[in-house]
Structure 1
Amino acid sequence: MPQTRPPLGAVASYSFPKPQRVTVGGGTVVAIDVPGQRLVSLRLVHPHGGAVEPLDAMGVNVLTSEVLEDGPDGNSSLAPALERHGAEWMSRVNWDGFITGLDAPANRVNEAVRLFADAVRRPALNPDDVVRRREQLLERFWLEAATAGTLAMRSLGGQLFTGRYATPLGGGPVRLADITPETVASFHAESIASVAGTLVVVGDLDGIDLEELGKTVFGDAASVPERESSVPAPPPGELPRILIVDRPGSVQSALVIAHRAPSRSQVDLPRAEGISEVLGGMFTSRLNMELRERLGYTYGAGSRFDLRRDSGVFFMSTQVEADTTAHSVTSSLEQVAELRESGVTEEELTAVRESNTVGLPVSYSTARSLAGALVDMVVHDLPDDHVDRNRAGYERLTKESLDSAATEYLHPEEAVVVVVGDADRLRQPLTDTGIGPVEVRDPESLWS
């Protein structure tokens, strides 16, 4: 006999687990106990992301992160050593943090963490490994930049910022090529090995001594120094404006429309991200319905905020056929103008509320996702109840609060439009839009 689906119950309000904190030497352990979760996620956070790199060593964070995978014995020795304990290494860098870590079975954490600590504090940093990793990153840069969407995003920084943000996080091909093994060793000694950081631990903590883990990982490293931040200046030039990154013969265009935004601490996150979702963050968003469903120009269009400690970026992006590029740009800007003028609908308000509250138990159902949330809190100095405050902010959203977010956070009059495509084919149609001056650049010249 066919079975009927059981009726849906009432949506339960989600509360993020309260972390415990243990100060150990110069560092802090932040942990969440999840009984029964036998895969423990451990993350070490250093506040030395790409934003604070000196301009003569751009990309040293990313290169150092890669070289750490070679382990204390060099030559890619770390992964096999961790695998003997069922553990997996991870390392990533963003503008505001240098994050290393591992996932390991709870009953093998102590052994794996000893290897982890050696890898982070006492890596081999063999010059041959550094050069090999650097050459791999350089090759990867151009392989990834062969994708038009990636090239468009990497071209964006120089249109919005001067200083470090004008060059991609990985340093760009020219700057990265100049980094020597000695530069990596110096950066590691000053910013990683000698700085304790914050250790995030999530999983079944029964039988795990957090203080001992902290001692193993931190050793005698010093506490995190105060980080100075200042808002980076914009480059000169008229706004709005258009940059064409030339790809002769391309039958498609990748386009990004972006403007500067406040830093994360200055933004009301539910309102800002809520209005971005209405515009381009959901399948039913304005951009997707216009460019994909009504005009048939693209498989998908979206928007989001990239919020950092000292500044931010808002951008819309899509890829379209070359002949529809100019109309795609003007149509996207028209969607922003209409949203600012008329505001959101009740259906859009409900969709934003539900998409950011109903699914939270699933979003934070694993040790990795909980650890990711804690890392975010550490990097951005957020309170332990940040997730709950954010959820409550989405629950309080009204049409009026989202309407005001559209005028507060969306500024098409300050936008730069980056288009990767055939300049000969695109220059005149984009000029005819009247958006602003049009410049054409060769990809090879962007980061020289």
Structure 2
Amino acid sequence: MLQSRPVPGAPKPYTFPRPRRVQVGGGTVVAIDVPGQLYASVRLVQRSGGAAEPLDRMGVATLTGEALEDGILGDSSLAPALERHGAEWACRVSWDSFVTGVDAPVNRITDATALFAEALRTPALRADDVVRRRDQLVERFALENSMASTLAARSIGGQLFSGRYATPLGGGPARLRALTPESVADFHTSTIASVAGTLVVVGDLAGVDLEALGRTVFGDAAPAVAQPVAAPGTGDGERPRIVVLDRPGSVQSALVLAHRAPSRAEIDLVPAESAGEVLGGMFNSRLNMELRERLGYTYGVGCRFDLRRDAGVFYISTQVEAPTTAHSISTTLAEIERLRSDGANEGELTSVKESNTVGLPVAYSTSRALASALVEIVVHDLPEDHVDRLRAGYERLTAEELHAAAERYLRPEEAVIIVAGDAGELRGSLEDLDVGPVEVRDPETLWG
């Protein structure tokens, strides 16, 4: 006999766990104790990200992060050493940070962290390992650029910024090839091995000696020095404009509409991201409903703010059938203007609020997720109750606030529209849009 479907209950309130802070030598341990969570996450946060790289060594942070996995013996020795403890290496380089660590069973966290600390502070960095990793990055860069969506996304920085942000985070091929084992060793010595940083630890920490973990990871490294924050330069060229990355014979076009946004500290985050979600960040967003559900041009649309310590980017991305490229752009611009002029309706407001509140207990149910949130708090100097403030902000969000954010933060008049597709087939229809000048580029010349 079939039973009736259960009726969902009211969403349970969620409060982000309060971390404990312990000062150890030159660094700080920030920990969340999660009883019963027997798989722990350990992350060391250092502010040696891509934005701080010298222009003649762009990509050195990414290459160093790759080379660390070769461990203290070289030749990819770290991963098998960690596997003996059921542990896994973690490394992520962003514009603002260099984050390394391990995930491990709590009862092996001491041994796994010791291996991680060894690899971080005293890696072999053998010349042949570094060259092998560098060549792999160059090959990977070219392979990934064969995907139109990746090519278009990587081109954003060069259209909006000058200086370091004009080249992708991992460095372009020419810059990567110029990196030497000596440049990696210099970067590691000056900005990784000698800087304590902040150690994030999440899991069932009953019986875990946080001070001992801190001493293991920090050693005698010095406290981190505050990095100056200055707005990056602006890229050349008229705006708005369309840049076509020529891919002769392409049957699809990858589209990116991007413009600069405020930095992470300057933006009013909840209303701004809500406007982006209504526009293109949810399945039932306006662009997804129009371009995918009604017109059938695409499988989906993405829309988000990429917010850094000194700048930000807003972008919309999708892939469409080549003949629909121009109409997809005009439709996107029309939906932006409609949101800016009319704001969101009650259904959209409810969707945004629920998508950012109801699922929080699941979103933060793992050590990795909690550690990731703590990493963001450390990198951007956010208050410890940052997640709770966000939840409260979404709960009290009004249609008027969302409308004001759309008017303030969505600026198509300052945008560059990047099209990775067949320029010969597309140029005429793109010029007919009268959005701005149409420029055709050979992708091979982007990062010379």
The two structures have a TM-score, normalised by structure 1, of: 0.99
2:194 equivalent to 1:203: no
State the alpha-carbon separation in 1 of the partners of residues 8 and 435 from structure 2.
Answer: 50
SS of 1:265's equivalent in the other structure is coil
Q: CA deviation at 1:323?
A: 1.0
* Residues 12-43 of structure 1: per-residue CA shift (max 9 Å, x gap): 21100000000000000000000111101000
> Aligned letter for 2:112?
A
Deviation at 1:93, TM superposition (A): 0.5
Secondary structure at the residue paired with 2:265? helix
Counterpart of 1:394, as a letter, is Y
**Residue 347 of structure 2 is aligned to residue 347 of structure 1:** yes
Question: Which residue number in structure 1 is paired with residue 10 of structure 2?
Answer: 10
Q: Equivalent residue for 1:280?
A: 280
The 2-side partners of 1:72 and 1:276 are apart by 45
**Cross-structure match for 1:378:** 378
Q: Deviations over 1:69-123 (max 9, x none)?
A: 0001100000000111111111110111101010111111111111110000000
Cα separation, 2, equivalents of 1:105 and 1:96? 29
Structure 2 match to 1:260? 260
- Distance (whole Å) between structure 2 residues aligned to residue 90 and residue 319 of structure 1: 31
- Report how far residue 404 of structure 1 moved: 0.4
Q: Which residue of 2 aligns with 1:243?
A: 243
Residue number in structure 2 paired with 1:213: 213
CA contact (8 A) 1:47 1:98 kept: yes
Tell me what 2:165 maps to: 165
Within 2, Cα distance between the matches of 1:294 and 1:101? 45
The yes-or-no answer on 1:103 pairing with 2:103 is: yes
Matching residue of 2:53 = 53
Q: Distance in 2 between matches of 1:111 and 1:297?
A: 52
Give the Cα–Cα distance (whole angstroms) in 1 for the partners of residues 132 and 302 of structure 2. Answer: 37
Look up the equivalent residue of 2:123 and give its one-letter code: P
- Correspondence for 2:177: 177
2:67 match: 67
Distance 1:6 1:292 in 2: 32
- In 2, the alpha carbon distance for the partners of 1:286 and 1:324 equals 18
Q: Which structure 2 residue ranges, 5 or more long, are not aligned?
A: none
Aligned match of 1:402? 402
CA deviation vs aligned residue, 1:164-223 (integer Å, no higher than 9, x gap):
000000101110110000000000000000000100000000110000000000000000
Matches within 5 A, 1:353-432: 353-432=353-432
Instruction: Note the C-alpha offset of 1:4.
Output: 3.3
Alpha-carbon offset, residue 6 of structure 1: 3.4
SS in 2 for 1:327: helix
Give, in whole Å, the separation in 1 of the partners of 2:300 and 2:96. Answer: 29
Q: 2:296 matched to which residue of 1? A: 296
The answer as to whether partners of 1:279 and 1:302 remain within 8 angstroms in 2 is no
Partner of 1:223: 223
Q: CA deviation at 1:7?
A: 3.0
Q: Which amino acid aligns with 2:190?
A: E
1:445 corresponds in structure 2 to 445
Report the counterpart of residue 90 of structure 2 in structure 1: 90
Q: Distance in 2 between matches of 1:105 and 1:437?
A: 57
SS at match of 1:184: helix
Q: Shift of the alpha carbon at 1:11?
A: 1.5
In structure 1, give the amino acid aligned to 2:158.
G
Q: C-alpha displacement at 1:8, in angstroms?
A: 2.3
Worse overlay, 284-293 or 124-133 = 284-293
In structure 2, distance between residues paired with 1:145 and 1:159? 17
Return the offset for 1:3.
Answer: 3.2
Q: Quick one: distance in 2 between partners of 1:235 and 1:107?
A: 51
Q: Is the contact made by 1:20 and 1:31 (CA closer than 8 Å) also made in structure 2?
A: yes
| 1:117–1:217 contact (8 Å) kept in structure 2 | yes
**What amino acid does structure 1 have at the position aligned with 2:232?**
P
Give how far 1:243 is off: 0.6
**Aligned partner letter, 2:394:** Y
CA distance in structure 1 between the aligned counterparts of 2:3 and 2:39, rounded to whole angstroms: 36
For structure 1, list consecutive stretches of 5 or more residues without a partner in the other structure: none
Residue type of the alignment partner of 1:371: A
Q: Residue 440 of structure 1: SS of its match in structure 2? A: strand
CA drift at 1:2: 3.0
Amino acid at match of 1:3: Q
Identity of aligned residues (%): 68
Query: 1:146 maps to which residue?
Result: 146
Q: Matched residues in 1 for 2:111 and 2:302: separation? A: 44
Aligned partner of 1:36: which letter?
G
Match for residue 331 of structure 2?
Answer: 331
Query: Is 1:31 equivalent to 2:31 in the alignment?
Result: yes
Partner secondary structure for residue 255 of structure 2: strand
Partner of 2:118: 118
